[in-house]
Structure 1
Amino acid sequence: MTPVDPRTLEIFRAIAETGSATRAANRLNTTQPSVTRTIGAFEKSCGFRLFDRGRNGMTLTPEGEVLLASVERSFAGLRAVQRTIGEIRGGLHGTLWATAIPVVAEGVLGALLGRFARENPQVSVNQHVAPPELVLNRILAGEVDMGAIIGPVPIGMKLAAVPIGERTMTLVVAPHHRLADRDLVRFSELDGEIFVMMPRAHNIRSTVDAMLEEFGVRPGMIHEMGSQRSVAEVVRNCDGIGFIDTEIVDSMRPGSLVAVRLDPPASWTINLIHRRDDTSKVLAAFLDWLAGQADQPAANPVSAGP
């Protein structure tokens, strides 16, 4: 087997995280044909398939899953080297590494990192966007200094948590929907509706699934979308109902959707998390800075455009 090029591993990792050669190419600022050729050559060199290709994208094979775990450990090692170099320079020279799901990265965490960078111009800020299941893995592997999750830290993990905001779930419908003129809807009234839902790993989906069971509601149909904005677009163009973050609704074009309060309401704390046993100088400085923000007026979060 020929030596593995680091760029090849970066491409492999990007496809694993995005589920698509096209999205991986966009992330890495290259072309889709180049990504496809590289991963095809890598699979040939390995002697086994790394991905299953299907209509819904590319998913890791069992062999690919094993290799990804090894690749993540390698990237964590490189991350530790980079951090050490930054700390040797002294002061706050270095990089603050973070990861979060898109809605948090584009909102409250992005706003905090921007303000920290403005006040600490010698520090480089590097934020990755990842699916919920990878955020914790990257922190535990030591690949990043910190991350942000919605909801509590899983029990048993040696992670510290600092609340940095709150998210609220809302029901959304198209302006022509029968519920569009309601201010408040009881969840028990939604029996038989067409539900447009997030994937099961998402906190909103977990909450809605629990409410379906609690109230005995049976959807007439369930459509599953990969992002909150895709949920909003499907709802806007069909007779279904969706469940998305209030901040996503606020950032969309006025009049495209109608937000309706749910009874019972659902909200979650956004927690900034980091390993208790591995705090870099830059992270320690950021945490001290963050503690000082509690005494200042909150800045308006930056919402992504529609």
Structure 2
Amino acid sequence: MMPIDVRALEIFRAIADTGSATRAAERLHTTQPSVTRTILAFERACGFKLFERGRYGMALTEPGQVLLASVERNFAGLRTIQRTIRELKAGLHGALTAAAIPVLAEGEFGALVGAFMREHAQVRADLRVSAPDLVLKDIVTGEVDFGAVIGPAPPGIDLATLPIGRRTMGVAVAPGHRLADRRSIHFRELDGLPFVLTVRSHNSSVAVEAMMSEFRVQPSIIHEAGTQRTAAELVRNSGAIGFLDYEIIATLPPGSITAIALEPEVAWPINLLYRRDRKPSPVFAAFLGWLGSRASIA
């Protein structure tokens, strides 16, 4: 079997890309005679011509095109190996551990971690989906590197906070509801209507209960749902009023729910939380640096 000279393959790729031994030499920071000698020797070793030479440059022969496709596939593998070596040197192997509430794990948070994993293929993700109080417990006890929540960290807990987005709440009604043609509605106008609320630990329920107290609104009945999607189904079928994230509403089947802007607006930041007194693992340190680079680009 003919031994494969990686340098000859680099020269072969460079000529195929530039169409010229001279330009290939410039790209590879070498001389044109060296490139010419190497490619001629490579053609003799292959036993067939790789290029047709003409006054306007060098064009791949049919066998050369077939070989180039194979070389490109294998160079992609070599680049993966080189990236793995760099990541291992930098300590980027192991797991990135995190926790998030369901609505974030299925949205912004999952997308963010997935983008990091795409760029760091040797890192394994260990993502937990939990209720807000369990997410905070996992962060505080060190069970995870970090977590994602809607709203700020609870008072009395010294956690670093990184904002990654924003969520806004709207009023959700079934399409045939008498309020369905409204573009916006003040919360006090909802007095006496049936409400669907998520569990009390959810930010939307906390916000709705605060407004009920501020504007002295009394719903005729309060239904409780474990998740926002469950709340949406109750709204769609019962005729009650729901309070959902616009991001959740956007993922529902078209025409199943009508969203109305709420006055006053209710919005929360989406935050990543982590212990500032705990030395980050190499993987988590790389993730924080990656987040910083994305923020600077944005």
TM-score by length of 1: 0.67
4+ long deviations beyond 4 Å:
87-90
In the alignment, the residues of structure 2 paired with residue 192 and residue 173 of structure 1 have an alpha-carbon distance, to the nearest angstrom, of 15
Residue 47 of structure 1 corresponds to which residue in structure 2?
none
Give 1:156 deviation, angstroms.
2.0
In the alignment, the residues of structure 1 paired with residue 239 and residue 107 of structure 2 have an alpha-carbon distance, to the nearest angstrom, of 29
Give 1:90 deviation, angstroms.
6.0
Residue 119 of structure 2 corresponds to which residue in structure 1?
119
In the alignment, the residues of structure 2 paired with residue 273 and residue 186 of structure 1 have an alpha-carbon distance, to the nearest angstrom, of 33
Residue 177 of structure 2 corresponds to which residue in structure 1?
177
Matched, 1:202 2:238: no
Residue 223 of structure 1 corresponds to which residue in structure 2?
223
Residue 3 of structure 1 corresponds to which residue in structure 2?
none
Residue 105 of structure 1 corresponds to which residue in structure 2?
105
Q: Which runs of 5+ in 2 are unaligned?
A: 1-86
Q: Secondary structure at the match of 1:188?
A: helix
Matched, 1:283 2:284: yes
Report the aligned-residue RMSD.
Answer: 1.5
Deviation string, structure 1 residues 145-170 (Cα, Å, up to 9, x no partner): 00011111112212101000101101
In the alignment, the residues of structure 2 paired with residue 153 and residue 175 of structure 1 have an alpha-carbon distance, to the nearest angstrom, of 36
Amino acid in the other structure paired with 2:220: G
In the alignment, the residues of structure 2 paired with residue 97 and residue 145 of structure 1 have an alpha-carbon distance, to the nearest angstrom, of 5
Give 1:89 deviation, angstroms.
8.5
Amino acid in the other structure paired with 1:295: S
Matched, 1:293 2:294: yes
Give 1:296 deviation, angstroms.
3.6
Deviation string, structure 1 residues 233-280 (Cα, Å, up to 9, x no partner): 000001200001110000011100100001101000011011112221
TM-score by length of 2: 0.69
In the alignment, the residues of structure 1 paired with residue 172 and residue 229 of structure 2 have an alpha-carbon distance, to the nearest angstrom, of 12
The percentage of aligned residue pairs carrying the same residue is 54
Amino acid in the other structure paired with 1:207: A
Amino acid in the other structure paired with 2:177: H
- The 3 A distance-change label for structure 1 pair 88 and 290 is closer
In the alignment, the residues of structure 2 paired with residue 267 and residue 88 of structure 1 have an alpha-carbon distance, to the nearest angstrom, of 41
Residue 188 of structure 2 corresponds to which residue in structure 1?
188
1:147-166 alignment runs, 5 A limit: 147-166=147-166
In the alignment, the residues of structure 1 paired with residue 158 and residue 164 of structure 2 have an alpha-carbon distance, to the nearest angstrom, of 19
Query: Which range moves more in the overlay, 89-98 or 141-150?
Result: 89-98
Residue 138 of structure 1 corresponds to which residue in structure 2?
138
In the alignment, the residues of structure 2 paired with residue 106 and residue 235 of structure 1 have an alpha-carbon distance, to the nearest angstrom, of 21
Deviation string, structure 1 residues 16-38 (Cα, Å, up to 9, x no partner): xxxxxxxxxxxxxxxxxxxxxxx
Give 1:94 deviation, angstroms.
1.0
Give 1:295 deviation, angstroms.
3.2
Matched, 1:93 2:69: no
Deviation string, structure 1 residues 175-196 (Cα, Å, up to 9, x no partner): 1111000001110100110000
Deviation string, structure 1 residues 274-302 (Cα, Å, up to 9, x no partner): 111222111111000001111345xxxxx
Q: Which runs of 5+ in 1 are unaligned?
A: 1-86, 298-306
Q: How many pairs were matched up?
A: 211
1:251-290 alignment runs, 5 A limit: 251-278=251-278, 279-290=280-291
